[in-house]
Amino acid sequence: MALMGQDEAVSTARHLLELRKGEQDRLDRIQRYMCGKHDSVYVPRGARAEYRWLIERARVNVLPLVVKVVAQNMYVDGYRPAGSDENAAPWQVWQANRMDARQHGIHRSVLTYGAAYAVVMPGRPVPVITPFSPRRMTALYGDPVNDEWPIFAVEDRVENTRGGRRRVVRVYDNQARYTLVGKVDGSRLEPDGEQWLMRHNMGVCPVVRYINLEDLDGDGVIGEVEPLIEIQDQLNMTTFGLLMAQQYAAFRQRWVTGMAPPLDEQGNPIEPFRSRVDGLFVAEDADTKFGEFGATDLKGYLDSRESTVRNIATISQVPPYHLLGQMVNLSAEALAAARDGLDRNVDEHESLCGEGHEQTMRLAGLAADNKAAWEDTAAQVVWRDTSARSLAQTVDALGKLVTMLGVPPQELWERVPGVTQTDVERWKKAASEGDAMNRLNGIIEKQMQHPPDTAMPVEPTAPAA
């Protein structure tokens, strides 16, 4: 593909921005629900301020927790070539771009919206990796199902400058990046000065797409949040009913008959009694009767809300104790069974996101002019083990692998819960230095036990005459 001129770049950018409009409303709605800005429950005309006050407090937002529980179990801890226990060269690019921390943004975006992107551009001293949410970037593929690299990608954002706010649109293809600027509303897009064109000459569009679901129909991807929006609305409605019952019917209402209400100076009826803890209702007329209405039972509301939360847990494969906060006397086997769905869900997302990370690593090798790293399709990312197992149980199992199956101990260090790749490398270095010292001590000990014969030879004396 040849380089685009300025007019062609502006035309392509406008076309790509038009294609983005179809998905932005859906993504914006997901983002609103993640921030707790849910659709309101029914509000009758003329509702009092107290009614609206309860509506604002009837939102129990569990959607961020659904994303957080899965995302906290996903952490890339290395990138290894096949048959090696040392990280490949692109891992240095990964760490130089602070991707140890920024990878969580990619995972959360994938889980929330169903997709995320990473752009890799040549740079000095190392290539630059920039993650993007689908609310800020869209990629266009010839075949969205089978193509590894997009034809075009467009980045759309608003930035603040000394002269005010402006819109920045960047178009990526297999030869260059084209930067255009204009008003916030997108009008009057034009090249951004002399630096509007940046050539990368990588031969592929330097954008990697991460997906939440492998969709072979090409109908688009969906995240973990969107299927739960309607159930989130049900939860809010039940919570609102609970608050209304608490406010107006959870305490006993009293009644009185056979008594004419007293009047104020203007002749208006006033409340004859003021309820209080130490108060007593007294009437002069013997025919006056007092009574009370029963309080509304809140158990039905509480059970309904718990049932809705359990439905959310079932659909999202998040263990119910994460959402309900109920975990009493669970054995190790029961805890493992409760986490089974979550572990399977995490495994699937690690498989899908792992392919995206490996593609990003290869692209980083290409951007660094490392042909071997670019052509290495067998290297794999290493995920940290976050399974809920006790340290003693895990170490016991690993010890049996060493003693019963002969697995080298150093190959199992990274499987210890909570151990990072940095810890493993430090342990290996210490073990290597320890082996060298042990060999040296053995040589010294051997020398001390069997010292060499260093005595000077004695010259023979002449026989006596």
171 three-state secondary structure: strand
Is pLDDT at 363 greater than 90 in this prediction? yes
Residue 412 lies in a domain: yes
Q: Minimum mean pLDDT among 44-53, 363-372, 399-408, 443-452: which range?
A: 443-452
Residue 48 lies in a domain: yes
Estimate to the nearest angstrom the gap between the alpha carbon of 5 and the chain centroid: 39
Residue 25 lies in a domain: yes
Boundary residue ending a domain (226, 257, 273): 226
Boundary residue ending a domain (191, 226, 261): 226
Token duo for residue 146: 């089978």
Is pLDDT at 39 greater than 60 in this prediction? yes
Rounded Cα–Cα distance for residues 160 and 130 (Å): 19
pLDDT class of 49 with cuts at 50, 70, 90 = confident
Token duo for residue 117: 């992107």
Is pLDDT at 100 greater than 60 in this prediction? yes
Rounded Cα–Cα distance for residues 230 and 277 (Å): 43
pLDDT class of 229 with cuts at 50, 70, 90 = very high
Question: In angstroms, what CA-CA distances link 24 with 113, 207, 211, 261, 270?
Answer: 11, 19, 17, 61, 57
Domains in the chain: how many in total? 2
Residue 340 lies in a domain: no
Residue 267 lies in a domain: no
Q: Which domain holds residue 141?
A: 6-226
Residue 246 lies in a domain: no
Residue 138 lies in a domain: yes
pLDDT digits (tens, 9 = 90+) for 136-161: 999 999 998 899 999 999 999 998 88
Is pLDDT at 407 greater than 70 in this prediction? yes
- Percentage of the chain beyond pLDDT 70 is 86
Q: What's the pLDDT score for residue 261?
A: 78
Q: What's the pLDDT score for residue 287?
A: 79
Residue 296 lies in a domain: no
Is pLDDT at 104 greater than 60 in this prediction? yes
pLDDT class of 434 with cuts at 50, 70, 90 = low
| Angle, vertex CA 157, rays to CA 160 and CA 117, nearest 5 | 140
- Cβ count within 10 A of residue 337: 12
Boundary residue ending a domain (176, 204, 226): 226
Q: What is the pTM of this model?
A: 0.78
pLDDT class of 215 with cuts at 50, 70, 90 = confident
